[in-house]
A and B are shown apart, each in its own frame.
Chain A
């Protein structure tokens, strides 16, 4: 590609077409550009265009295209061709800085980005003069150019803030410091002087202050990894000027915009970060300056207004104080009573106030408000920063701070009492203050778990919270109502049970509040209260205690879902799930109505699933309805099938991917309730379940396996009879699963069900292939999980088909295979699993008692007891009521396991063995009667105390006594 006018002309036309809204014009142009970008001179043509084109649109477009080209092609990847010719590379590097600096801002930004991408690859080795070229521009006196340089430097250096220390990195920083630090310092001083000279020229000031902000950012990057010698030597210059800038104000720079931070705020905010960096990492060197900064930042806080534009500055400034006040050697800066009082009064209290911006969010953007207030995504907010400062101060001054705030709380509550309509925000601040003062540790699961003992939470509840909860008009002062509800929720572990019980009906009535935040908080508070644990792993609030409110609770929860803005409110749906689970059979009378509402909801959300949490709880609630009702009366399952199948069919037909794992679980639950026959409606679906596309989604695998197991259990014979042509497909699923280390156990679940439930003649022709597959997998990837599953399988096979069949099939595949498997696979593993066998060895083998084997008897017994007492992995928790979505394994991956669709454990050996611990006890008893006196003496002399204790437990459970 020549660098000539014709090519420029043609590229210009193509660029113009890439801006065309019509894709039939745009796409080919984009394709064309991509096809020629490998040509020599292509990037230079772009640079020429962005410099010389008459059309601003084309210039900007060329700049963007150039930057993207650099981004895609500049990096030289090993073993891949160099995508930019060396000639072009050299030409670009020779011109780009100049070009960037002489371009208008829009283009400058693109080129600056391009420089930093190139710099990331080439600087410093392959672009040694970049820095010098940039630094010389500092002397140009043109701040448009200077800011261009600073911006580029910032994008080059900012990686120093997050990269690990390494020789390479530090050599680069050293080089940068050698070239850059002194000119930067000179520029810093000169810029500050110019600010004084131009103190009355607003346009000049704006440019100068953006330079100062960039310089401060560069300072941060260059000082991040370690304190450079240069900056240590020049600390006085930098810190004095930073301090000066912090205290500086200029009316001309104040903006009228309430939201957007102005130049002054951005600069001061960065200076706070710089001071915080030094205070944290270079304390020893920074100590002389620190007190000055504390004072300046504190004065800044006192004099800064409530507008949103100051938020970042204020939160950075407070965080600085919070980090300093925790350090023991700065304790003295804060310990004076007046200082503390004034920090509390002028810094903390004002920043805890409910602002009009908060009020707007409360009313119009409740989701965001809840996320910030409830879920802690309030990292950068003033309230959060103020809370952190309270916590920091409490480290050394808990008593005085609590005392000071108690005064404020009383006076704010006093103000409120005088005129609630006018002063309700005072009460809000008071509650917030109490909350932040009292909470020392908090979790989602339990709320506040450690409280400041100096705050009487119960008294505050009785005197100030209860009144708002009891107020008959739920729609009056919604913010205070929400505060009160939140108070109950977060201090639930601290408040006595009677208070919580008193709160329950009040919370139920607040579910009707119009305010989204308020009824959401009510639902959430109820849900949390219902998960609290009482004695003996029961719920703190019992179904009996809830009986008087059951109808109201269910009514209000479902009504709340109809309130505007809450149609898919996950908090409400979660509260519904938890209420069902808590109330159990007392919901049965309401289910006929409720199931209609739930399926209707499901139909609606399946059109466009957008709230995963809501949907999850919706399915959980459906499962609970089924389980609770069918537990009382299994025949009702058909009425659920009637209600659910139309929706399920629609979901399957529309392939609503998010919902499939749920639907399979619901179907499994329903099918498992049937007694030993499979309805034809299910059989019609069977072939569809074997479709590979379903099995490609990992989230479908566990629920689909479970569903197929249910099919096999209820209809193994039907499948063999009417769907025998599907057996290879079924085994294909097994093969698919066994090939994956992650899913092989699922494959075994399926195989075991096939062996257990399918008539032997229906699978006889596939048996050899099944074993070959297993051996192939064993050969290529022998994992512990696989071996365990394999052992269970061959034992099951042996039980179903007999030992001879097992040995024959092994040896038919390869001579002596049976022996090898026994020796290499079974024997090493078996002692881990076959407790029953060991019991037999211990108790039914005379040589163990009377020969040289006797010395092994106790160790073997001890090992067996050890095996019994190993912690087991319960896949279905006993206390499933308490389960939380965060605990639900598989949430966020595609498979979302429903806790309330829980499956009963199936034991293929069945009742033939029963409890192996009991078996051991009984067998030992038998042995002891056969040789009286021997067993107890062997036990008491050589079994360790812990094992003995466990053993006594087994004996007691079996109600036998050794003789």
Chain B
């Protein structure tokens, strides 16, 4: 399993109507049936070639490219690495690294089983043997890029302190290799990430951020930083986040798309979760820049920027307002019409969260012309987008003022959600029924229930809702039934008791118990 489950907690602000109630977040299931997202950034990467190497080659004459190393057998490698000769050790390391840099059939387990890891780790501290140091670091990097078990072997052989020490190497390509290896270890999960943080990896990494202007190096560094921000259960400690953030903000103002992409992913990880976490991000003042990056021409930048803003607008009304003030509502229409379906979906998700806000935010959403885009998505979006758009409608109708709901209906949203009552997803159907119910509540306030009843019927909604009374899902059946009863049928009754004989009731009162208190 290379990647993860769903990277984000999709969450929802709850109805803006009830301030006493804690906001509910819609936590998405962690179990995924789908293929992992294709546009997500990588948790771990193998090194096939190193960015800073071109420049460094001159300084390291002993560097031998992949192509130049003859393929040795595992036995030869073991013999070389375990020998006492530096030359053999270097040759063995290079051969191992070469094997580990192939496209497929990586002998990860063989190398580990041969007991080479402790040798590689010990080479890391040989500051006077730069080539050996480098080859060992590279080999370990690629082993750490394997499964969790592989990474665990690397860590358990003591690689963490060795790599952190190696960050200080005067050789940029060696330092970079250490950055990379640490990134792979951090990407394994929350546990190793926190071990790294406890080993003070953050200040060590950031020290080089200040020094380096080499783009390739910065890219690797940004990626490693983003892995330090990543993963939940638990989230990274707040203190580390606070340490990291200023540098991430700095990186976000560069112009390299890879750096921007990973920095944005980092922000997206940090902004995921409860409102306190979102607050930490919002307080940096980065929201306007993120909104700006939502219009970036590179998908790899735009996607995590959109995700970050999506996370932020899932926070409190105040947090959402910073995104609105930064102009998110002006960018969303174009993203909702983006050719990529997954972008449309993310944009619709963000919109659904803004729609969950108070009526003045809903008003801004209307003013910025989001309703036509929303209705377009309801009608023509792919299913995942339609699902988010439906949530947007339901949130809108539960928090919006009566006139706003009228506006929404006039934009064609009612017709569109009624059409969607035929989707093959019980939850979406239930959410639509809730929206229809909300619209009826608004109509009641206007005294236009009957008009709405007719409209729903005209749009084919009555037929569909009636049919849903046969739905196998109980809640759907109940919701449909309740709508029919309430607006297309009639009401109900409850009771208490009185004594009676066959002929009549017994009119009788017990003496009052205690005193009356109203």
Contact = CB atoms under 8 A, between A and B. Distances in A.
Contact of A690 (B382, B494, B503): B503
A688 B229 CA distance: 80
A893 B492 contact: yes
Chain A contact residues, majority secondary structure: helix
A729 interface: yes
B457 A164 contact: no
A327 B377 CA distance: 11
Contacts of B472: 159, 161-162
A42 to B, nearest CB: 32
Interface string A152-163: 000000010111
A481 to B, nearest CB: 27
Interface stretch (B74-82, B113-121, B180-188, B424-432): B424-432
Interface in B462-518: 463, 467, 471-473, 475-476, 488-498, 500-509, 511-512, 515-518
Interface core residue of B430, B507, B512 (most chain A CB under 10 Å)? B507
Contacts of A162: 426, 471-473, 476
B516 A227 contact: no
B33 A225 contact: yes
A594 interface: no
Nearest to A729: B504
Contacts of B156: none
B454 A445 contact: yes
Contacts of B506: 728, 732
Interface in B414-436: 422-427, 430
Nearest to A449: B458
Nearest to A733: B505
Interface in B2-50: 29-35
A353 B495 CA distance: 54
A443 B458 contact: yes
A691 B463 contact: no
A773 B491 CA distance: 27
B246 interface: no
Interface stretch (A10-18, A85-93, A253-261, A281-289): A281-289
A171 B31 contact: yes
Given A280-B423, A441-B458, A445-B454, A734 B507 contact: yes
A163 B507 contact: no
A304 interface: no
A870 B292 CA distance: 49
B502 A691 contact: yes
A307 B489 CA distance: 38
A282 B383 contact: yes
A698 interface: yes
B33 A226 contact: yes
B490 A891 contact: yes
B473 A164 contact: yes
B504 A726 contact: yes
Contacts of A824: 518
Contacts of B458: 441-443, 449-450
A6 B422 CA distance: 57
B31 A167 contact: yes
Chain B contact-residue range equals 35 or more
A165 interface: yes
A739 B495 contact: yes
Nearest to B498: A736
A687 interface: yes
Contacts of A171: 31
Nearest to B458: A441
A734 B511 CA distance: 18
B507 A766 contact: yes
A400 B41 CA distance: 48
Contact of A871 (B447, B497, B512): B447
A150 B30 CA distance: 29
Given A280-B424, A692-B504, A228 B34 contact: yes
Contacts of B517: 779, 820
B459 interface: yes
A142 B213 CA distance: 70
A776 B29 contact: no
A23 interface: no
B34 A728 contact: no
Contacts of B30: 167
A779 B473 CA distance: 40
B383 A743 contact: no
Contacts of B489: 886, 891-892
A397 B274 CA distance: 49
A814 B512 contact: yes
B287 to A, nearest CB: 31
Interface in A254-292: 277, 280-284
A778 B508 CA distance: 17
Given A282-B383, A691-B503, A814-B515, A772 B509 contact: yes
Nearest to B473: A162
B518 A825 contact: yes
B481 to A, nearest CB: 12
A889 interface: yes
Nearest to A823: B518
Contact of A735 (B380, B490, B505): B505
Interface residues of A, number: 87
B341 interface: yes
Interface string A98-132: 00000000000000000000000000000000000
B504 A893 contact: no
A773 B508 CA distance: 9
A186 interface: no
Nearest to A440: B458
Contacts of A741: 494, 496
A893 B501 contact: no
A742 interface: yes
Contacts of A871: 447
B491 A769 contact: no
A644 interface: no
A871 B501 CA distance: 43
A733 B498 CA distance: 9
Given A280-B383, A739-B496, A775 B512 contact: yes
Contacts of B476: 162
A763 to B, nearest CB: 11
Contact of A813 (B35, B424, B512): B512
A356 interface: no
B495 A229 contact: no
Contacts of A248: none
Nearest to A233: B35
Contacts of A892: 489-490
Given A162-B471, A228-B34, A327-B380, A889 B490 contact: yes
Contacts of B500: 692, 732, 736
A728 B504 contact: yes
Interface in A734-763: 734-736, 739-743
B505 A732 contact: yes
Nearest to B446: A871
Given A698-B493, A729-B503, A232 B509 contact: no
Contacts of B515: 814
Interface string A279-313: 01111100000000000000000000000000000
B472 to A, nearest CB: 4
The 8 closest A-B CB pairs, nearest first, are A732-B505, A729-B504, A692-B500, A441-B458, A739-B496, A731-B507, A162-B472, A170-B31
Given A281-B423, A328-B380, A450-B458, 15 more contacts: A161-B472, A170-B29, A280-B383, A283-B382, A284-B382, A690-B505, A693-B502, A726-B504, A729-B505, A730-B507, A739-B498, A741-B494, A776-B512, A776-B516, A891-B489
Interface of B: 29-35, 341, 380, 382-383, 422-427, 430, 447, 454, 457-459, 463, 467, 471-473, 475-476, 488-498, 500-509, 511-512, 515-518
19 contacts: A164-B475, A170-B32, A173-B33, A229-B34, A283-B382, A442-B458, A449-B454, A691-B503, A698-B495, A729-B504, A730-B507, A732-B498, A732-B507, A733-B504, A740-B496, A743-B495, A772-B509, A821-B518, A893-B491
